[in-house]
Structure 1
């Protein structure tokens, strides 16, 4: 942190480096999130969605897949994938198409992006064109002949929300949920046309076509449709199935394999398309998507990861292998070597940060219910399950965390947060109050302190085993004297109108407390009379607070990480932000020059401090043209817009109204490669304030353009 103090001294005292040049860049990522999709390259590689990443597995030994590469996906969860000639096409939830060169698995290169907004569902590749379906009832055709510059060539309005699609020769078969099956002529990709539509019994999620017959996954079964005459599709039969049918694939012969969310995999005999029937099922896993290579099925199972099944046996479908992804990250703790992640229903993850080329999970411990909080000191670790238990683990061997003690709150009491103190371990149990247990006990631990005032205690910060600060939801903040374990004394209570406190931290004479989306800095030098000395509106709900060396790190829900200079508590100022998060950020930890930020769906981002002038981006960062979400959003009256340039070029950053009319040019200049940002003050080019409402901001560089939305709310 001495390095950071030197930088800030230059910023404040000498004014040689602007504050907006101080950056946090992502240097690595531990991926742990839902698996929506898994595919193969048709040979020895599998590509598996894992939260905000695509993990590349060697499947030479299909019963023991090995992680050999990882694509860090910016700004989106992979919901569909396609592979062709060394290029991976990634469809991201809410952020469109990402094109990645994976010919070198150690250094995957982002080549290009395409996005029209909205919520994309599926993609398919044929030749130089990618076909995308969206829930806004559109089919988009994108020319990817130059992967670094994909561009839109056609858009076709569909009568229903676009779902799964199957391409065969000059036809696209599109599952359109409430609008059944849509047949589209794509003989001219730049001018697709709708040929016919046929309704299905249930919501049409996916489609597979073979020998002039379309097989529809329609939520509660499989519908068989004769499409030999594309202009007049005809329904032949329907087979009802259990478990929310979502995806379908065939073996090119006489079998269909159907993914059902709650019922696993159904194998269908389709040797006679007019009389298909259920042959057998494998119901031990969840199934959100399915891919077939030879006799093997690769099943995307959401928070269960990816399963590989063998269908060659005559008696039953056999489980071959399981590749675990995750269920997101609720909380984190870090040491010099290891990262400890509270992973909800997937329990505790122990992650080796020294592993190369990316952090590796080396140990696991199951949850009793859902693991929501973790703290570690040396080889002693405590974790909190959401309902009922505080667990004490020995992590001397990180590969085999061992339970050595537990504390049972009883009566199915909810628990939230855990902190290891000097002698005791402190845990919060909502309306059942706050507990302290002996740090060095074993077996069934006993409470040495308990405090309850009928308020919702969600987090605590205890200093020197003497002063406890409690975040009590609508009850505000309580300060307790806990020096005498036989008598907890309430020293003071802090509240303001409409308060809701869930996170708290203390350093020096100050407490740092969230009130929803605002940070309060409170002087607690007199613990009987806390006084607010500073406040900062973060623009989004603050889920976690850490303060180190005059910097406050705020995990701001969907807006990512915000870092404030709080050396002057009365005047907190932003110095850096990281807003490339995929979903809601849940916790932050600081260790040396690195910052760890957990994301509900993505895993953990590993960030490092740098300045624009000395940044050494990773290959993925260098190749990416990216316009980031503005911060804060909504805003009044100013907001910051950041963007990445893969190369030096002339740039225009402009603000537009919803009619596409330019109202303010923020940047029009030649700029070097790297990260840049600009501030909009809510005024037009004439200097006049604009009205409240939704505005667009557009970045242009050469042939590349990206546009996002922001909300000015006065």
Structure 2
């Protein structure tokens, strides 16, 4: 009976984290596969449900119809690890102890997966930690992404924001229905969320993660999934192929180009990006056409040494499938990701007590109290003013009206130089 339940399952979505692959398998629920040392296994099956007897592990959780699975991070921070106080490291948030499943009928399912991170093979028994679907609000849940301590869930009601401050007791902070119509995917980059729905791509301002606000939309046919990388967004556009958007200004998205490799890409379901050496690649799940690898940039790409060169797509490889269709691609490991959107530390820093900015500290870089997002204003010189001195006075007045009057620091006492640890320094401090 145990082996039959893994036979002929339908994989709808997947995510790799560490040595395990998490798969949303429709009526088969959540299934987890051991993919450790996939090129160096000493037995015939490289991808297995468990390397030991089923009695020794339980790497599945049953549900009515699992549509999507999301990990809070592609790395594996372990909230269950005992921390040495001498390291002066902050605790890992509890959100990272779980895997999150969008179920068509049950809504959001929280699955405890911390035991798969601790390196102990004797406790790998996964269990459902919580099921959340208040009043059927999350009915039709089909996709989700974890943004800091929030889950953004695409469902029949629109985009539902669920707070996971306590993952076993989630609650809803916002529901975005208009202008969304049957959203199928959502991705977040800094202050904006990009949502695919029946009519194209919608952009939401998520400066307040708990309360997204629609700000823009771009009509597209058959927008299934989206991946955002710096100033470009890549849409799996079904029969259109790979649709590349210019989102340098997220509130004014523009179509940059459409690429289908001369008709070879015609059923794009999903797209993920990865970088190898100095080249960027898109991995496209193209239905019955298999998996395509499209090179987006190379050392020869104009501006490749810059922040965000314009992609020059070129099909470089195709992996045909003997049976079935390619409908999902797992996201790769995020390199050097130090902090999440809620200010939770994800990576080890090189010095004792070192940490990234908290969310409140980071917001001080781009938010003004009671004024919202910090925006630069240069002002304009009025050359109708003949006197150059009066012209500069007018420019100064413009800047003061925008930024406020300058602070008077003349009466402020001189602050004593301080060491990096905040202790007043002495005369021998080399950093004075």
TM-score when scaled to structure 2? 0.56
Give the whole-Å Cα distance in 1 for the aligned partners of 2:139 and 2:207.
Answer: 23
State the secondary structure of the residue aligned to 1:78.
coil
Residue 197 in structure 1 maps to residue 166 in structure 2: no
**Residue from 46, 49, 61 that aligns with 1:110:** 49
Give the whole-Å Cα distance in 2 for the aligned partners of 1:82 and 1:228.
Answer: 27
What are the equivalent positions in structure 2 for 1:693-712 lying under 5 Å apart? none
Question: How far off its partner does 1:203 sit?
Answer: 1.4
**Residue from 277, 283, 286 that aligns with 1:301:** 286
Runs of 4+ with >6 A deviation? none
Question: How far off its partner does 1:327 sit?
Answer: 4.4
**Residue from 163, 166, 170 that aligns with 1:185:** 163
Give the whole-Å Cα distance in 2 for the aligned partners of 1:160 and 1:218.
Answer: 16
Residue 282 in structure 1 maps to residue 259 in structure 2: yes
**Corresponding residue number in structure 1 for 2:71:** 125
**Corresponding residue number in structure 1 for 2:211:** 232
State the secondary structure of the residue aligned to 2:251.
helix
**Corresponding residue number in structure 2 for 1:64:** none
**Corresponding residue number in structure 1 for 2:247:** 270
**Corresponding residue number in structure 2 for 1:87:** 20
What are the equivalent positions in structure 2 for 1:405-420 lying under 5 Å apart? none
Structure 2 residue runs without a partner (length 5+): 51-57, 73-95, 117-123, 302-309, 328-432
Q: Deviations over 1:402-449 (max 9, x none)?
A: xxxxxxxxxxxxxxxxxxxxxxxxxxxxxxxxxxxxxxxxxxxxxxxx
**Residue from 125, 128, 145 that aligns with 1:149:** 125
What are the equivalent positions in structure 2 for 1:604-683 lying under 5 Å apart? none
State the secondary structure of the residue aligned to 2:71.
strand
Give the whole-Å Cα distance in 1 for the aligned partners of 2:100 and 2:13.
Answer: 12
State the secondary structure of the residue aligned to 2:180.
coil
Give the whole-Å Cα distance in 1 for the aligned partners of 2:47 and 2:288.
Answer: 25
Q: Is the 8 A contact 2:61 2:127 kept in 1?
A: no
Q: Deviations over 1:247-301 (max 9, x none)?
A: 11111x1111111211111111111011011111113312011111122111111
**Residue from 272, 289, 293 that aligns with 1:291:** 272
Give the whole-Å Cα distance in 2 for the aligned partners of 1:159 and 1:78.
Answer: 21
Q: Deviations over 1:451-482 (max 9, x none)?
A: xxxxxxxxxxxxxxxxxxxxxxxxxxxxxxxx
Question: How far off its partner does 1:76 sit?
Answer: 0.8
Q: Is the 8 A contact 2:296 2:311 kept in 1?
A: no
Count of residues paired in the alignment: 259
State the secondary structure of the residue aligned to 2:165.
coil
Residue 320 in structure 1 maps to residue 316 in structure 2: yes
Question: How far off its partner does 1:125 sit?
Answer: 1.4
What are the equivalent positions in structure 2 for 1:169-180 lying under 5 Å apart? 169-176=148-155, 178-180=156-158
State the secondary structure of the residue aligned to 1:222.
strand
Give the whole-Å Cα distance in 1 for the aligned partners of 2:272 and 2:314.
Answer: 16
1:230/1:282 CA distance change after superposition, 3 Å = same
* More helix as a share of residues: 2
Give the whole-Å Cα distance in 2 for the aligned partners of 1:137 and 1:180.
Answer: 16
**Residue from 141, 147, 155 that aligns with 1:162:** 141
**Corresponding residue number in structure 1 for 2:193:** 214
Give the whole-Å Cα distance in 1 for the aligned partners of 2:31 and 2:289.
Answer: 25
Q: Deviations over 1:325-344 (max 9, x none)?
A: 1345xxxxxxxxxxxxxxxx
State the secondary structure of the residue aligned to 1:272.
coil
**Residue from 17, 29, 34 that aligns with 1:101:** 34
**Corresponding residue number in structure 2 for 1:691:** none
Report the RMSD for the aligned CA atoms in angstroms.
Answer: 2.5
Q: Deviations over 1:598-634 (max 9, x none)?
A: xxx9xxxxxxxxxxxxxxxxxxxxxxxxxxxxxxxxx
Residue 136 in structure 1 maps to residue 105 in structure 2: yes
Give the whole-Å Cα distance in 1 for the aligned partners of 2:227 and 2:159.
Answer: 16
Give the whole-Å Cα distance in 2 for the aligned partners of 1:128 and 1:315.
Answer: 37
Q: Is the 8 A contact 2:63 2:103 kept in 1?
A: no
Q: Is the 8 A contact 2:21 2:35 kept in 1?
A: yes
1:210/1:315 CA distance change after superposition, 3 Å = closer
Q: Deviations over 1:23-74 (max 9, x none)?
A: 9x99xxxxxxxxxxxxxxxxxxxxxxxxx9xxxxxxxxxxxxxxxxxxxx63
**Corresponding residue number in structure 1 for 2:362:** none
Q: Is the 8 A contact 1:165 1:173 kept in 2?
A: yes
Q: Deviations over 1:368-426 (max 9, x none)?
A: xxxxxxxxxxxxxxxxxxxxxxxxxxxxxxxxxxxxxxxxxxxxxxxxxxxxxxxxxxx
Q: Is the 8 A contact 1:121 1:163 kept in 2?
A: yes
Question: How far off its partner does 1:315 sit?
Answer: 6.9
**Corresponding residue number in structure 2 for 1:388:** none
